[in-house]
Structure 1
Amino acid sequence: MTVLSLIACVSLLAWLWLTFCQGDFWRTDLRLPPRGADEGTPRPSVAIVVPARDEAEVLPESLPSLLAQRYAGDARVILVDDGSTDGTGDLARELGGRPDALLPLTVTSPGEPPAGWTGKLWALRHGVEIAGDVEYLLLTDADIAHTPDSLDALVASAEGGSDGGYDLVSQMARLSVRTRWEQLIVPAFVYFFAQLYPFRWSNKPGSRTAAAAGGCTLVRREALARVGGVAAIRGAVIDDVNLARLVKRGGGRTWLGLADRVDSVRPYPELAQLWRMVSRSAYAQLRHNVLLLIGTVLGLTLVYLVPPVLLLTGLVLATPGVAAPAFAAWLLMAATFRPMLAYYGRPAWEALLLPFTAALYLLMTVDSAVQHWRGRGAAWKGRTYPAPDRQQSRNGRRPDLSRNP
């Protein structure tokens, strides 16, 4: 067996493992769990907390969808203006005063975050404090639009039925795929996330895997308080995964799936915007560890880039021992990506482009590390967050919030 055929076979074995032993990560049929009560049954109290920083562009489409929720219980919306300079707060107040708003709106501002806090989490903490003694908190981003029954469906699913319900229910919002770059990058973004955090493993009690989607997360206030509140993840760049992990470690049940009622209205028309979205947190996902970065680069190369390259090589050199396993690996790759493309309404043939997209993600990950090494950290909307070790040296010892399952 030549070196090239050995590499091709290893890549195929990796895809066989991912396809059949990685929690069915490629399946897209996980939707909200069964409701615990019939529609119209009185629901527990809920506060919807929306952190917003310079969101005037998307707020007219997202905030009215929250204010128009048809909910059979006490609910209110709290928008936390996180130091916006584009009139986000004033626009929110205007939208809240419209006659079609069904839920009351509070607009508030916490001021600049103290050292050791990310801006979003400082805003969430402020909103949670204002929410008072409610049973549930819906933490949702300012670019997320909900159908009118979204809140009711989330709470009903969290209440559960015979299975006892959940302490955290999260939906991965359907992202925009209007432009060509979005169509290329976005489905793969969700696919890679599910591969890293298989939803079925995350939803299984006792499993070490735990994940959530920060754009739409409903959490019991009691469960959040039990694990130390928002302060327990105050410096986490990947706050959604860390929150789910804490709730699960604290004995709570969590659930994560794809959304039918929740959509992101934020456009990413250019590659540069998508690049920043991924690169700002990619190195944090690797715990700012150089060895994990090297392993990730090698892994992405072996799993995603080797199959098409060695297939072409095997065809040119007329070596079936190289071409055949490389072709089989590429077929498995495309087959597992196809359900996600269907979820986003994309044609099946685009699955063949996944190696190219994976190469872009590899470069984004390396760029994320380079930005951290340059001291720019996770830059987002005018703020930069250093790696945890740098924050620790500034603020004293604090828990590691970026460990993978």
Structure 2
Amino acid sequence: MTVLLWVSVLSLVVWLWLALGQGFFWRTDQRLPERRVPERWPTVAVVVPARDEAEVLPVSLPSVLAQEYPGEARVIVVDDHSSDGTGELARRLGATGGLPLTVATPPPLPAGWTGKLWALRHGVELAGGVDWLLLTDADIAHRPGSLVALVEAGGAGGLDLVSQMARLRVETRWERLVVPAFVYFFAQLYPFRWSNRPGARTAAAAGGCSLVRRTALERAGGVAAIRGAVIDDVSLARAVKRDGGRTWLGLADLVDSVRPYPRFGQLWRMVSRSAYAQLRHSVLLLAGTVLGLVLVYLVPPVALVAGAAAGSWVVAVAGGAAWAVMAGTYLPMLRYYRQPAAAAVLLPFTALLYLLMTVDSAVQHWRGRGAAWKGRTYPRPQEKGAS
């Protein structure tokens, strides 16, 4: 009990620090900043990389094509050698009207590039000299007014990158358990307030919806500067910010992910495919992450139950207090996803699942499978090429 007491007290101290000193990561008030109608509407190209997306494209692409934009805007779908007719489906959807649509296929994937970034590079080249590029995934639907709101916010704030974390789907039991925590953990790792602060070291973006100035992207070295990145959204924000650009990241009200994850295995792969890359393939960072997750998320409920069972109420109170702070910081994210407040007590269990997903990500990496996605397996960073 003595050891558990000290560990539970340490966990409580860590939670108090996280709640007050980690950029108020748990708050969900980072929404689109001040907006202003521009004197001249800038030109925009919406670039959509798509590989085997026939399932979701009929829901997402029409919402992009239907955007009403006062200036010149067009959509470029880059069909990344799909096997399910994604390109032809996109052409049929574009024939129904809306913004002008171009469907293109990039050359074969060269060594050192991830498929998505190679497709984005091709789309950016086709966009030419536009003012803004909206990089949005094929599973992202945009509600009416989304494009206008992004451009108004970018211009009013003098921003070079405006990114929104799309509201992910939470319809199945596993989606409701895993998805809000996914965004919560991301915000804890990259506090939005810190990322939005000019000059701060923290930089992050959400790959599903990122509006970037073409000139800022070019100054940062273009898409080629991040060509091998598995976590391309964070890498893009870092590249833009490193070159002196101003970035902004927040939660979305007009942008939704329509990709379903009806089975737990799909959610597992969504997280595990890039978790170890997030840790820069470092064994030390992996060990530290596992110990940190245990201390922060698993110790509080264990201390509460064990302390109560052993009659050590000091241990139980310390564990219970840490668990209460944890649950309290999770409530705003649950409200954002319209989930019941009672679900906050399940966060330790969800954190355990994420711990196992992270370890599995490292194991897959050590087995040489790298980050597998859409029929491609990206090798270890020191290796060349992709299969």
SS in 2 for 1:35: coil
CA distance in 1, matches of 2:251, 2:108: 33
Q: Shift of residue 2 of structure 1?
A: 1.4
Letter in 2 for 1:9: V
* Superposition pairs of residues 4-403 of structure 1, within 5 angstroms: 4-37=4-37, 42-98=40-96, 101-160=97-156, 164-391=157-384
Letter in 2 for 1:69: Q
CA distance in 2, matches of 1:341, 1:249: 33
Letter in 2 for 1:146: H
Q: Shift of residue 387 of structure 1?
A: 2.1
Q: Shift of residue 42 of structure 1?
A: 4.1
Letter in 1 for 2:210: T
What is the alpha-carbon root mean square deviation over aligned residues?
A: 1.1
Summarize deviations over 1:128-158 as a string: whole Å, max 9, x none. 0000000000000000000121000000000
CA distance in 1, matches of 2:98, 2:51: 24
SS in 2 for 1:80: strand
Letter in 2 for 1:262: V
CA distance in 2, matches of 1:33, 1:165: 11
CA distance in 1, matches of 2:263, 2:109: 30
CA distance in 2, matches of 1:190, 1:169: 18
Q: Shift of residue 14 of structure 1?
A: 0.7
Q: Which runs of 5+ in 2 are unaligned?
A: none
Letter in 2 for 1:318: G
CA distance in 2, matches of 1:70, 1:336: 38
SS in 2 for 1:95: helix
SS in 2 for 1:389: coil
CA distance in 2, matches of 1:245, 1:226: 13
Q: Residue 284 of structure 1 contacts residue 387 of structure 1 at CA under 8 Å; is this kept in 2? A: no
Q: Which runs of 5+ in 1 are unaligned?
A: 396-405
Letter in 1 for 2:248: W
Summarize deviations over 1:68-110 as a string: whole Å, max 9, x none. 0010100000000001000000000000001xx2200000000
Summarize deviations over 1:9-64 as a string: whole Å, max 9, x none. 000011011000000000001110111227xx641000000000000000000000
Percent of residue pairs bearing the same amino acid type: 73
CA distance in 2, matches of 1:102, 1:13: 54
SS in 1 for 2:230: coil
SS in 1 for 2:37: coil
Q: Residue 112 of structure 1 contacts residue 119 of structure 1 at CA under 8 Å; is this kept in 2? A: no
CA distance in 2, matches of 1:208, 1:218: 21
Q: Residue 36 of structure 1 contacts residue 165 of structure 1 at CA under 8 Å; is this kept in 2? A: no
Summarize deviations over 1:323-365 as a string: whole Å, max 9, x none. 1110000000000000000000000000000000000000000
Provide the TM-score with structure 2 as the length reference.
0.98
CA distance in 2, matches of 1:386, 1:24: 36
CA distance in 2, matches of 1:143, 1:201: 28
SS in 1 for 2:382: helix
Runs of 4+ in structure 1 deviating by more than 2 angstroms, as ranges, are: none
Q: Residue 42 of structure 1 contacts residue 72 of structure 1 at CA under 8 Å; is this kept in 2? A: no
CA distance in 2, matches of 1:104, 1:379: 33
CA distance in 1, matches of 2:127, 2:330: 41
Letter in 1 for 2:365: H
CA distance in 1, matches of 2:174, 2:295: 24
